[in-house]
Structure 1
Amino acid sequence: MKAQNELQGEETIANAITLNILNSNFKLPPMPANGPKLMALIQQPMDKIDIDSFAKLINSDPGLFSMILQLANSIYFKGIDEIFSLRAAITRVGLQEAINSVNLYFFQRILPKIPEIEGFSTKDYWAFSWACATAARRLGHPNLNMNALPGELYIAGLLHGIGKLILAIHYPVEFSKCIQKAAELEQPLHTIELDEFGTTDTLIASKLMTIWNIPSRICAGVEFYQDPGSAPEKYRDIAALLQSACSIAAMSGIGTNGDGCTMGFESTWIAGQSGLLFSKKGIRDNIVQEILVSLEKKSESITGVIPPKRDVLPDSKIPVDNHKNSSVRTQPKTDNKGLLAWIKSWFI
């Protein structure tokens, strides 16, 4: 946990950089009118959502309409016949998946084009953000008794690295140096950013996200996910779950977020909390595997990124993580089928 004076120093610099960005020629695009509506939808329980209102929102935006049709006819979701109607597309994809994917596409297109930076691919960045968001939403399931909602976690996962995009646009030379140095030293990107900028992309992101009227809990989750122990208590759970989701996304090998190394799950804040349900190894391992399998199945259709191949252990349908950046290697559970079935039932 960082000392209070360190946090204050980093925040002061983040405020100065944010002000510099806002006063420069770069203009942070305003939140489009349908943005708050989409974010409100994703934070509602599925049984409370009016499908007609959602369809009307999509129909008003040709880009979102086209995306939903493309997703419904993609390799993972496609059926025997090609779909051309919005209602049929939402039915085939599923309401929750449709709302999740619409939010992903929406945020992808808000920012201007990112300059070419060696070691930092926009496509891979968004694929990783989707993996993080998907994992975060699963970790917000009420049965885990954490103080965070699945919808707000999904948005936090999508936006957790948006400060990187802002730095890439506004400070491409300096940000490129950070990317290269993090890779060479195999260090987390935010530690290199501290040396280069005196602050981190997450602090900058949390400042800029307030301009979009992103809910304060989501901003705080993004600000503190790299060090949840430093978060105010009321925001600690969302920050910790986001940190865990990023670790799972790194395990999946789907996309990259520019880091020179990834955090193993055992090093996350939640893994060190003995009193939490998700801290119990048997429950945690099975949930992580459920998430990894789901990410692997859907990644190509939703992000266009093909996940790395995984080995399947004998007598097990659960893949082993072979991604070179992951420090967690999972083993099959032959005596825990009841628990696995229980976990699966949460997500049906």
Structure 2
Amino acid sequence: MEGSDADAALYYLAVILKSGDLESVVRRLKDSAALDVGLADPARATQVITLANTALEIGLPRASTHVAMATILLAVAPRSDSAMQAYYQAAKDAEHPASHPMPKYLQDSHYRGAAKLRGAGVMQNMFDLPHKIARQEYLPKDLVGKHYYLVERPIKQAATSGAQRPKIEWRNIDSRVWVFVVIGLALNIITKGLETWMPVYFLQARGINLKNLTWLVPLPVISGGIAALISGFVMVHWFKGREHWMISIASFLTLAFMFGLFKSSSLVAVVIFDVLIYFVKSLAFTGIFSFTAQILSEQTYGSSIGIVNFGGQLGGFIGPLLIGWLVQFAGSYSAAFLGLVVSALVAAVACLFIRKK
């Protein structure tokens, strides 16, 4: 039993019971309940002692079942000798009790003249104190602050429960998560691409002084914020249970508006299409996270949503680099426009691979 081998323990139990020595078995079971299991599982120790006592009352041969059950309980039980070790430490200090006189309020004061012989001492009544806890020192003065019993944390049990948690492997991730990664990446390339080069485009390609048009700059971002605010209403009333359609429609509209932005010949048209792009793109992002929450299990949601977020962040990193490279390579902003249109096209095509189940 001490080696946690239930099979071996049962074999040697059968060998001992074959000779009819039930008393020795019962004595060993009771001893092991306190010494080997102890405070690691006090309820189990109580069960073992109850089974052992019942075995003595019933007697062999039927008592073999009771002691076999107790043997198995002890063999597979957690271990703790904290009670034994605590007592050993206290016993060392108790070898010379005269060297450690107890506080006066713990000494017997019921006989006549006790107060004159030892001095008065009053023991606090715990029921008169907050939380029913007396704040007195009960150890001898020279032992105050010493601890014999230390609470043990169930390290083995925590490690076991942690080992049973399912591990998320890349090949087991739902394929729809990767579709959302592609959509988020492509849409965020558009977002960061527009944010970084659009002001420069106004100034250099259109000759517009942004100092006089600063009120136009935040309009797309405001549009995206409005879309985020109303997205819940849109999903509940128009796309409830059909969030994948909301993602698809918003992505295709992003593609259409990107093409409109590319073909715009006036400042008004550029601003309008830029605002519309941010609006429908925000709806698409909201749909991605809502749909992800519905289709994924509770165990994999955290990891999967992290992967989707990473796709969006990666798009934000790639967008400005891509725009800068296209402008430098082609020498015009038309190539940058086409690059963003292609990103919108990728997002729209990826939506075709979203499946409900």
Is this a same-fold pair by TM over 0.5? no
Per the normalisation by structure 1, the TM-score is 0.19
Computing the radius of gyration from Cα coordinates, the structure with the larger value is 2
Per the normalisation by structure 2, the TM-score is 0.19
